[in-house]
Amino acid sequence: MTVGAGILPAQSLEEVVRRTAAQHLLFPPGSVTVVGFSGGPDSLALLHLLGRLAPEWELTVHAAHLNHRLRGEESDADEAFVREICRRWGVPLTVEAADVGEVARRRGVAMEEAARQVRYAFLGRTAGQAGAATVAVGHNADDQVETVLMHFLRGSGLGGLRGMVPSTPLAGLRVGEGARVPAVVRLVRPLLHAPRSLIEAYCAEHDLRPRFDRSNLDTTYYRNRLRQELIPYLETYNPNLRAVVRRTAEVLAADHDYLVAEVERAWERAVRAQAETEVVFDLEAFRSLHLSVRRALIRRAISHLRPPLRNIDWIHVEQAVEAVQNADGAGVKAGLPQGLLLSVGYDTFSIGDVEQAGRPGDEYPQLPEGLTSVALPVPGEALMAAGWKVLTETRPRGALADDALTREHRWTAYLDGAVCGERLELRSRREGERMQPLGLGGRSKKINELMINLKIPAAYRSAYPILVGDAGTLWLPGYHVDHRARVTDGTTEVLVVRVERR
């Protein structure tokens, strides 16, 4: 690509882009970047500048243009302009057209949101086809101010108030139904710290004559009204408003990064199970966390279950946190957006599809659907429902340290192999069935009463697997070894039984 170079002012667009690219490692040497090229001032300046820097940065530039078909002949004229610029500069170009209005109607979203989804899906596809590491877009510092204010007025947490970031995974933007975005591609914003005035000055300096989208003047669009009416009004109170908002966003971005790391650690600690339709939390672990982390975990769970959902209202998050924190027993429920339901149990709570409410999930082991018993070979394994499995092996008594046998292992049982016998099975409880929990001196209790006292939810009890052998009940997995099957000084062979998630 060959474009002309001009004399740079003291604080030039090139200096801003160089600093941003270096600070955030936007363009790996030897990589390909796809530039979203609408033909407007921002994308025209970006394509021109990256073309000038490409030889030095060992960067291959590929342009991509989406005709949104929203402005009739003007949209077609934009496409023709883009094609001519790329032909003249020798830039490879990918062009697609999309009926954004139809997408908005079909998905039930606003026109701006539909355009965003379609545009990023297109850029992701183009990046995959071009083997690109990055997709570069022309968001500038003034766009950042508008974004932060929009999020503030909507009622957003740190994730929204930090605004846009210079680099983020493109796949994380959730670009709509059926979209396939390469996981390794990052969306980068080299102009994010450059005000619009600097970009316009760059275009004038290099005789770049961009296209102008007249719909940007239409104040029926929320962002346009904010840009043309609200921001100028606020600047009458503080002429430095834009700089103040940008600085605030940078401070909050650092705070957000710290919170994300804390939430990741909390997720590992507090989540017992997760699937496409449900996330199950440990109630005590969740309640012990800082309020900020609890809110973030709720938002993450909703986002996990409803990936297209971008805007989660504060009120829903707050209601969910309060429901969990104030629940004094099982049965508390709270509605959430997009057909989700929060349900509080004895020692867990779940967020899942409304239609799944009341059904067993996967936080407790369950017998395979339709079966009341499963043979358990020794050594070997038996598969349970929802990714659980039970494994067995035998070990000589002398091969196991005493502390291994006496420590509590919720999902591992050490049993006397001779007492257990040769025929083992995992089966459901029977009416009136009893066992002798270890530690009660041989006294027996009804298994159903044990399950109630252990707060195993009713929905899980009928299919909860119980280990049974020649001597009767041997183990209630996760809770009680039977007194008769305990390892004693006279034990010669130990049966080791483990329950795991696949």
Q: What is the pLDDT of residue 441?
A: 84
Q: Predicted confidence band at 174 (pLDDT cuts at 50, 70, 90)?
A: low
Other C-beta atoms lying within 10 Å of the C-beta of residue 324: 21
Residues 6+ apart with CB under 8 A from 444: 434, 435, 436
Averaged over 46-70, what is the pLDDT?
A: 95
412 vs 155, more confident: 412
Q: Which range (309-318, 320-329, 346-355) has the least confidence?
A: 309-318
Averaged over 457-484, what is the pLDDT?
A: 90
Q: Predicted confidence band at 5 (pLDDT cuts at 50, 70, 90)?
A: very low
Cα dihedral sign, 137-141-146-150: positive
Residues 6+ apart with CB under 8 A from 177: 107, 308
Q: Predicted confidence band at 9 (pLDDT cuts at 50, 70, 90)?
A: very low
Distance from C-alpha of 308 to C-alpha of 297, rounded to nearest angstrom: 17
102 vs 29, more confident: 29
Q: What percent of the chain has pLDDT over 70?
A: 91
H or E, element range at 458: helix 458-461
pLDDT at 270 over 50: yes
The pair of three-digit structure tokens given for residue 488, joined into one six-digit string: 């004693």
Task: Name the residue ranges covered by the structural domains of the chain.
Answer: 13-234, 249-356, 373-501
| Model pTM above 0.75 | no
Residue 412 sits at the vertex; the CA angle it makes with 410 and 413, to the nearest 5 degrees, is: 105
Residue 317 exposed, middle or buried by CB count within 10 Å (0-12, 13-18, 19+): buried
Q: Predicted confidence band at 268 (pLDDT cuts at 50, 70, 90)?
A: very high
Which DSSP string corresponds to 33-55? EEEE--SSHHHHHHHHHHHHHHH
Averaged over 411-438, what is the pLDDT?
A: 92
Distance from C-alpha of 423 to C-alpha of 29, rounded to nearest angstrom: 64
Cα dihedral sign, 181-188-39-34: negative
Which CATH superfamily, name and number, covers 373-501?
Answer: Phenylalanyl-trna Synthetase, Chain B, domain 3 (3.50.40.10)
Instruction: State in words which class domain 249-356 has.
Output: mainly alpha
Instruction: Write the pLDDT tens digit of every residue in 297-308.
Output: 999 999 888 875
Q: Which of 429, 433, 434 is nearest to 462 (CA)?
A: 429
Architecture category of domain 13-234 in CATH: 3-Layer(aba) Sandwich (3.40)
Sheet of strand 333-336: strand arrangement: 271-274, 278-282, 348-353, 340-344, 333-336
pLDDT at 3 over 50: no
Residue 315 exposed, middle or buried by CB count within 10 Å (0-12, 13-18, 19+): exposed
Q: What is the pLDDT of residue 2?
A: 44
DSSP-assigned beta bridge partners for residue 381? 391
Q: What is the pLDDT of residue 178?
A: 52
173 vs 229, more confident: 229
pLDDT at 491 over 70: yes
Q: Which range (5-9, 257-261, 401-405) has the least confidence?
A: 5-9
277 vs 404, more confident: 277
Beta pairing class for 32-36 and 388-396: unpaired
Other C-beta atoms lying within 10 Å of the C-beta of residue 192: 24
Distance from C-alpha of 46 to C-alpha of 37, rounded to nearest angstrom: 9
Averaged pLDDT score across all residues of the chain: 88
pLDDT at 71 over 90: no
Angstrom distances, CA of residue 429 to CA of 143, 377, 463, 467, 470: 63, 20, 8, 10, 16
Averaged over 87-93, what is the pLDDT?
A: 98
Other C-beta atoms lying within 10 Å of the C-beta of residue 465: 29
- Helices in 288-412 by DSSP H: which ranges? 291-305, 314-326, 402-406
117 vs 234, more confident: 234
Beta pairing class for 424-427 and 373-376: antiparallel
